[in-house]
Amino acid sequence: LKALNYKEGKISFQKDCPAPEQQPKEALIRVIQSGICSTDLEITKGYMHFDGVLGHEFVGIVEQCNDSNLTGRRVAGEINIGCNHCSYCKTGNSKHCPARSVLGILNKNGSFAEYLTLPMKNLHQVPDSISDDEAVFVEPLAAAFAITDQLCVTREHEVCLLGDGRLALLIAQILHLIGCSLVVAGRHEEKLDILKKMGIQTTLSCNLFDKVYDIVVDATGSPSGLEQASGIVKPGGKIVLKTTVAKERSFDFNQLVIDEVTIIGSRCGPFDQAINALKEKSVDVKPLISKTFELKDGLEALMFAGEKGALKVILKS
Ligand SMILES: [Zn+2]
Ligand SMILES: [Zn+2]
C-alpha cells in the first residue's frame, strides 16, 4: 500500500507498505484525502520524535468494521486513542490518557497513506452536504472550538488573536461568531485579507497596544508567540496557547505572575461542533485551501506547505 513514511528525519514515498493492522474495536478506513497541518511540519523538525506515517486531518470511507451502520460511511476521526481503563479514559478524556497513542503524531501511523485504522468510537460521519475538501478541516476546526469549550468568551470581551496561519484563520471565524470585540494580528496581509472579507478586524502584529486585551490567543505557531501575548494581555486576563513547536522556548514569566495572568493550554476539541459549523456554513474553509497534491508528490507537498504564504495543502490518497 502507498504511504508517505517519515523515518529518522527523512520522508519517503513507499509503494509497498504493509496494510495497517486492524485491532478488534477498530475500523479499517480508506483515506480519501488529508490536510497538512503545521504539526506535521514541526514533526519533521523533531517535534514529538515521531517515526512513521504522518497525517491526522483526514476524510475517508470505512471499508471494514464490526458495525454495519458504519461500514461504507464517509468519516472524519478523532486522533487520540486511549487505554480505555485510566481515570481520563473513563471520563471521556482520552486526549489526556498517559498511555495514549495519537494518529500520525505518537505511536500510531497516520493518514498520509491509502489506509489507516482507528477505533470505531473515534469516528464521526460526515454529512453529504460537506465536501471532501471541507471535511479535512473537521479536525483542526474542532481544535479551534476547544477554545470556546475551555473558557467562556462573551460579547463583552476584548479579544486578540495572534497569528494568521491555517489554525488561526479557523479560530478567528469561531471567535467572530460569538460577537466579541476581536482583532486578529498577523504578519501576512494576503492572509489577513481573507478575514477582512468576512468582516473581521485585522492588524499587523507590530501595531498592537500593551495590556489591553481580556483574552489573547497565541496561534502564531512561533516560539515567540507567548512572549508577544504576555505583553498585550490585561492584568487578570487570560492567554490561550495553541502553539506547539519543536524549538525550545526561553521566556521570563515574572510579569505574568505579577499581572496574575491565567495561561490555558489548548489542543483537541469537539468534532460535533466542527461538523455542525461546516454543515451550517457558519465557517468558510474554502478560501483557506492553497493547493492539492497526489500522495506520491508528498515530499513536494510538505515543502510547499512550509513556504511563506501557504495555507492548507491537501494530499490525495
Ligand atoms: Zn493538526
Ligand atoms: Zn487511558
Higher pLDDT, 139 or 8: 139
Rounded to the nearest whole angstrom, what is the distance from the C-alpha of residue 156 to the centroid of ligand 1? 30
Give the ligand whose atoms come closest to the C-alpha of residue 242: 1
Averaged pLDDT for residues 109-116: 97
Rounded to the nearest whole angstrom, what is the distance from the C-alpha of residue 236 to the centroid of ligand 1? 30
Cα angle: 136, vertex 295, 60; to 5 degrees: 35
pLDDT band at 89 (very low <50, low <70, confident <90, very high): very high
Averaged pLDDT for residues 135-153: 97
pLDDT band at 227 (very low <50, low <70, confident <90, very high): very high
- Minimum mean pLDDT among 208-222, 239-253, 283-297, 301-315: which range? 239-253
The answer to whether 140 touches 79, Cβ cutoff 8 Å, is: no
Rounded to the nearest whole angstrom, what is the distance from the C-alpha of residue 18 to the centroid of ligand 1? 25
Averaged pLDDT for residues 22-48: 93
Rounded to the nearest whole angstrom, what is the distance from the C-alpha of residue 17 to the centroid of ligand 2? 29
Cα angle: 85, vertex 88, 90; to 5 degrees: 50
Q: What is the pLDDT of residue 265?
A: 97
pLDDT band at 308 (very low <50, low <70, confident <90, very high): confident
Give the ligand whose atoms come closest to the C-alpha of residue 55: 1
Q: What is the pLDDT of residue 246?
A: 77
Q: What does residue 253 show for φ and ψ, rounded to 5 degrees?
A: -85, -5
Enumerate long-range contacts of 281-286, CB under 8 Å, 24 or more apart.
282/173, 282/177, 283/141, 283/170, 283/173, 283/174, 283/177, 284/173, 284/198, 285/133, 285/134, 285/137, 285/141, 285/170, 285/312, 286/133, 286/134
Rounded CA-CA distance 144/56 in Å is: 15
* 16-28 per-position pLDDT tens digit: 998 999 999 999 9
Rounded to the nearest whole angstrom, what is the distance from the C-alpha of residue 140 to the centroid of ligand 2? 23
Farthest-apart Cα atoms in the chain, separation: 57
- Minimum mean pLDDT among 95-104, 145-154, 182-191, 204-213: which range? 204-213
Give the ligand whose atoms come closest to the C-alpha of residue 57: 1
Rounded to the nearest whole angstrom, what is the distance from the C-alpha of residue 102 to the centroid of ligand 1? 11
Q: What is the pLDDT of residue 46?
A: 85
Give the ligand whose atoms come closest to the C-alpha of residue 92: 2
Q: What is the pLDDT of residue 251?
A: 84
* 52-78 per-position pLDDT tens digit: 999 999 999 999 999 999 999 999 999
Averaged pLDDT for residues 294-303: 96
Rounded to the nearest whole angstrom, what is the distance from the C-alpha of residue 142 to the centroid of ligand 2? 21
Rounded CA-CA distance 106/52 in Å is: 9
* 191-201 per-position pLDDT tens digit: 999 999 999 99
Give the ligand whose atoms come closest to the C-alpha of residue 90: 2
Most confident listed range (8-17, 129-138, 223-232)? 129-138
The answer to whether 54 touches 112, Cβ cutoff 8 Å, is: yes
CB atoms within 10 A of CB 197: 10
Q: Which helix (H) or strand (E) holds 116?
A: strand 115-119
Which residue has 468582516 as its cell numbers?
A: 199
> Global pTM?
0.95
Averaged pLDDT for residues 109-126: 97
Rounded to the nearest whole angstrom, what is the distance from the C-alpha of residue 47 to the centroid of ligand 1? 13
Give the ligand whose atoms come closest to the C-alpha of residue 244: 1
Give the ligand whose atoms come closest to the C-alpha of residue 82: 2
Rounded to the nearest whole angstrom, what is the distance from the C-alpha of residue 79 to the centroid of ligand 2? 14
Rounded to the nearest whole angstrom, what is the distance from the C-alpha of residue 35 to the centroid of ligand 1? 8
Rounded to the nearest whole angstrom, what is the distance from the C-alpha of residue 140 to the centroid of ligand 1? 6
